[in-house]
Amino acid sequence: MFHYLKYFLFHAIGLLAAAAMFLGSDWIIYGLISIFGGYIVLDAVLGDDTTTPDFKHPGILTAQLWLALPLLSLIVFAYFWQVSAGDLFGLGEMLTSLTGYDVLAAKAEGSWVSDLCALLMTGLMIGMVGTITGHELTHRTWDPTSMFIGRWLLAFSFDVAFAVEHVYGHHRYVSTKHDPATAPRGRNVYFHVLASTIKGNISALKLEAERLRKMGHNPLSIRNSVLRGYGMSAIIVALAYLAGGIETMLMFIGAGLFGKALLEIVNYMEHYGMVRNPELPVQPRHSWNTNKRFSSWTMFNLTRHSHHHAHGEVPYQDLRPYPEAPTMINGYLTTIVVAMIPPLWHYLMTPKVLEWDEKYASDEEKVLAAEANRISGIKALTERG
């Protein structure tokens, strides 16, 4: 039973974020610090999880994924309410009456700092509750319910195109020059966020147009799932406008873009500096892996990325830890923070990349790695060649 319950930590963190949003003012700041700090500390002290339980009731695990959509909707609604000028649907008055805590007064006391923290926390939840779960669900191309829920989860970060590009592009070309999401050696994370976003959307549009043409359909039609995805995101933006006007709409766009940026930072972390012949199968060595316990339990084993890319059809609960695979710096949020400080990132990752060349690369990949080192702009890599 414990192995089912541990994944509900994901939902508990989402509810914590929603509660902080309704409590308002300083509670939003405390909530953001608690979530970020909690991940960093707990990943550091709880160690690794390399267990591989045998789950006999996978339906429970799928339901946990589906619950992400109402959970994220609650968080984003709380955000709309918090940053809008009025009391949306009279919710503040109702909560004050039920709890005795004056949420309207707390909302009025909010500052630009609490508003910024609200944006960052909502973006973080869009990235975690939305993108992580949307990623898992849109891999289940055989299940229309999972695809429907997964695509709506991705719509909050303006990234329904991910459901096409990731499954049919990224998984095919990962760790090669053809993959927008794979960061070459020496690349700055902030440039990667922009480049991967633009090239990923172009790739998704090309892949979807190719699929529709093969079926005899016009790509510029309602059958185009990427274009429909843009429309889904536009609906959420319109709801933000209806909830609180231009200001609320812009605040939501900011949170959604931050959630999308987090995805691209994660892509940066997961495959930075990897090289591969695109004609050969993807192996566990072509992804940076981590088995940090808290990240694994609260991110549906996204951490077990080496197995995920070697066998993309395997559901999250059956992913194996591959402790012998290349290992990223730490847990996910810790590594995100490091990635956002480029000098620290290159200081810590350059030795790991060189170790990958020596320990994991095939003879052919050693040649590709030497060329990647030569053009990396990182002194320790160019000297190694």
Q: What is the pLDDT of residues 238-280, one digit of tens each?
A: 999 999 999 999 999 999 999 999 999 999 999 999 999 999 9
Confidence category of residue 26, pLDDT binned at 50, 70, 90? very high
Residues 306 and 290: beta-carbon distance below 8 Å: no
The predicted pLDDT at position 1 comes to 84
What's the DSSP call for residue 289? B
Size of the chain in residues:
385
- Distance CA(321)–CA(301), nearest Å, equals 9
165 class by beta-carbon count within 10 Å (0-12 exposed, 13-18 middle, 19+ buried): buried
* H helix intervals, 84-175: 91-99, 103-108, 112-125, 133-138, 144-155, 162-165, 171-173
Q: What average pLDDT score do residues 119-131 get?
A: 98
pTM above 0.85, yes or no: yes
- Distance CA(208)–CA(165), nearest Å, equals 9
Confidence category of residue 375, pLDDT binned at 50, 70, 90? very high
Percent of the chain exceeding pLDDT 70 equals: 100
Confidence category of residue 36, pLDDT binned at 50, 70, 90? very high
Q: What average pLDDT score do residues 83-91 get?
A: 95
The predicted pLDDT at position 307 comes to 97
Token representation of residue 294? 């808290």
Backbone angles phi, psi at 111, to 5 degrees: -120, 180
- Distance CA(10)–CA(26), nearest Å, equals 23
The CA distances from residue 173 to 58, 78, 166, 181, 275, in Å, are: 30, 39, 10, 9, 10
The predicted pLDDT at position 71 comes to 98
- Distance CA(243)–CA(240), nearest Å, equals 5
Residues 68 and 130: beta-carbon distance below 8 Å: yes
The predicted pLDDT at position 385 comes to 74
pLDDT at 380 over 80: yes
Report DSSP letters for 28-52, one per residue.
HHHHHHHHHHHHHHHHHHH-B----
Angle between helices 26-46 and 9-23 (to 10 degrees): 160
pLDDT at 317 over 90: yes
The predicted pLDDT at position 198 comes to 98
Taking Cα atoms as reference points, which of 343, 352, 165, 162 lies closest to residue 274? 352
Taking Cα atoms as reference points, which of 159, 61, 135, 182 lies closest to residue 302? 135
